[in-house]
Structure 1
Amino acid sequence: MEATAAAAAAPARSALPFRSRVAAAARPGRAPALSAAPGRRLVARRAAGDGQAVEAQEALPIEKRFPPFPSVMDINQIREILPHRFPFLLVDRVIEYKGGEYAVGIKNVTINDNFFPGHFPERPIMPGVLMVEAMAQVGGLVMLQPEIGGSRDNFFFAGIDKVRFRKPVIAGDTLIMRMTLTKYQKRFGLAKMEGKAYVGGDLVCEGEFLLRKEHDEVANNGLSIFLDPKRLKLQKRRHSEQTKPPPRRRWTSRFSSGSGSLRRRRVSRLISGQVSSEL
């Protein structure tokens, strides 16, 4: 009987997790707030669900587990657009493309690439400059299109800025590169692009790219003008003044000024007899 009475007097064990019970005890008279930390049963259910997803993935045939990348441009189409060739053609496929806006390309990094024997023999890492070059080639696929009007003979890589290398790219990785056109000055033939490269969902490289199209003598100093807004504004003002049509001549009567006034004076002098017979 005493044990039964003691059990009845003891408070009932709460079904809430430990953190929720502590929060409820700290706020007497209020409804217990649910903690952000999940309970053990919820964690177990989530783990079981993840396990079932893994089992379902493993139950699929091997050819269906890893679907291939979609192909918008294959290597033959890329070779028709870009002038690069082995060993500097660093784009294997284009998987997304929107004319005049952006393109997404991939580079399959393999141990057979010719830069790995020297970079580095013990730890093969793709050089950062080649990652930047590969991204610039994807940008070239955006610019050398009818929407922009570029040509493989007159469009060049002009500069880079704010480039950061986040993680190394090693042999066996698939480098996914996205280049987005952010600004294009058609009169100067200059384009600014934003580039990002990923491996397995992780950002490995990013930066801003500048591409230049040579079409006239303005392109020779267009790079510095493009980077300086004040110089760009001054150049636009000068260009508008140079292309401004000449003012139209105002029609005037022959008696209002010039030779007309001179004739009037001579006539008046003849009448008054002040002009000699030579006139």
Structure 2
Amino acid sequence: MATSSLSKLMLSPTSMSPHSPVTHRPNISFITFPNSRSQLSATQLRKTKNTSRSFTAFCSLGAANDPKGDTPIELRYAAFPTVMDINQIREILPHRFPFLLVDRVIEYNPGVFAVAIKNVTINDNFFPGHFPERPIMPGVLMVEAMAQVGGLVMLQPEVGGSRDNFFFAGIDKVRFRKPVIAGDTIVMRMTLVKLQKRFGIAKMEGKAFVGGEVVCEGEFLMAMGSE
């Protein structure tokens, strides 16, 4: 039985000799994995000298070790729950554009605590001036956003706060841990620590997080009035 020309080439002594000249080099694929989870993994595909094209594909952190790697990233993470949407927030807080800095409440116990989010986008009106070349959310607006979450806790019948007579009275021990930039989602927790109804003063503790890391924290004083 006649053998194919390919088989003859593979089995011939000339093709097996280590001194035989190489007439063709196949395309080579290089795969680079990260040394740590803090680096991006990349796959680089390079072609022969005949073409100068190259392709680099980047994936998210730790994707090589992700057990859910077969699931598209847009389906991998659940959204924050909605306990109170923006329309319900507007019914409680008197703030309006451009100073309403709470987008959604994700956990809530009236008169005790509230957890809410603020989606930071490049379209926020403060970014053109703070700063044009490096957009960072002003710290005072982070504090204001947290105070508004505190307002959601206090402006309830259980507490007796009045929407028309509710004021931000003071701050103490405020620290800014990391900058907040466009694209971040701030998760803010405000907890009532002490309430003096006789004087209409409430003390609250607040923390703001981005990606599970504290970006701002402090103590807040709220002044309440009756209807």
The two structures have a TM-score, normalised by structure 2, of 0.70
- Is 1:192 the counterpart of 2:189 in the alignment? no
Output the CA distance in 1 between the equivalents of 2:164 and 2:66.
53
- Aligned counterpart for 1:87 among listed residues 93, 98, 104: 98
Q: Percent identity?
A: 80
Please give the residue correspondences for 1:85-164 in structure 2 after superposition, counting only pairs within 5 Å: 85-164=96-175
Report the structure, 1 or 2, having the larger strand content.
2
Output the CA distance in 1 between the equivalents of 2:127 and 2:177.
20
The amino acid across from 2:159 in the alignment is I
Secondary structure class of the residue paired with 2:146: helix
Secondary structure class of the residue paired with 1:206: strand
The amino acid across from 1:166 in the alignment is R
CA gap of 1:80–1:120, structure 2 versus 1, over 3 A, is same
Output the CA distance in 1 between the equivalents of 2:63 and 2:207.
34
Deviation at 1:52, TM superposition (A): 9.1
Output the CA distance in 2 between the equivalents of 1:62 and 1:168.
26
Judge conservation of contact 2:161–2:226 (CA < 8 Å) in 1: no
Report the structure, 1 or 2, having the larger helix content.
1
What's 1:56 paired with?
67
Judge conservation of contact 2:160–2:226 (CA < 8 Å) in 1: no
Q: How many residues align?
A: 167
For structure 1, which runs of at least 5 residues remain unmatched after alignment? 1-50, 217-279
Please give the residue correspondences for 1:1-279 in structure 2 after superposition, counting only pairs within 5 Å: 54-215=65-226
The amino acid across from 1:176 in the alignment is V
Q: Which of 1 and 2 has higher RCO (CA within 8 Å, sep 6+)?
A: 2
Output the CA distance in 2 between the equivalents of 1:109 and 1:122.
17
Per-residue CA distance 1:197-224 (angstroms, 9 max, x = gap): 00001111000000001349xxxxxxxx
Judge conservation of contact 2:93–2:151 (CA < 8 Å) in 1: yes
The two structures have a TM-score, normalised by structure 1, of 0.57
Per-residue CA distance 1:132-157 (angstroms, 9 max, x = gap): 00000000000001210212101111
Judge conservation of contact 2:101–2:145 (CA < 8 Å) in 1: yes
Deviation at 1:55, TM superposition (A): 3.7
Per-residue CA distance 1:4-31 (angstroms, 9 max, x = gap): xxxxxxxxxxxxxxxxxxxxxxxxxxxx
Output the CA distance in 2 between the equivalents of 1:82 and 1:155.
10
- Pick the structure with greater CA Rg: 1
